[in-house]
Amino acid sequence: MYDFVQDPDRLKDKLFVQMSENYLTNTFPVEAVDWEQEQLEHWIEENKWEPFVYWDNHSILELIEMAAIKAYEFWQKEFKPNAT
Q: Which of 55, 12, 49 is nearest to 32 (CA)?
A: 12
* 3-class state of residue 16 by DSSP: helix
Q: Phi/psi of residue 48, each to 5°?
A: -65, 135
At 19-65, the pLDDT tens digits run 999 999 999 999 999 999 999 999 999 999 999 999 999 999 999 99
Q: Which of 6, 35, 73 is nearest to 17 (CA)?
A: 35
* 3-class state of residue 63 by DSSP: helix
CB 80 within 8 Å of CB 63: no
Instruction: Name the residue ranges covered by the structural domains of the chain.
Output: 8-78
Q: Could you give the residue ranges of the DSSP H alpha helices within the chain?
A: 11-19, 37-46, 57-78
What is the band of 8 on the pLDDT scale with cuts at 50, 70, 90? low
